[in-house]
Amino acid sequence: MVVLLFTRWGSVRLGPNDSRPEYSNQAWFAMLFTAGMGIGLVYYAVSEPVSHFLEPPTGQGGTAEAARAAMNYTFYH
Per-residue pLDDT band for 49 (boundaries 50, 70, 90) equals very high
Annotated domain spans of the chain:
24-77
**Which tens digits make up the pLDDT trace of 6-45?**
888 777 888 888 888 889 989 999 999 999 999 988 998 8
d(CA 1, CA 59): 46
pTM for the predicted model, two decimal places: 0.56
Distance spanning both ends of the chain, measured CA to CA: 33
Q: In whole angstroms, what is the distance from residue 70 CA to residue 49 CA?
A: 5
pLDDT at 62 over 80: yes
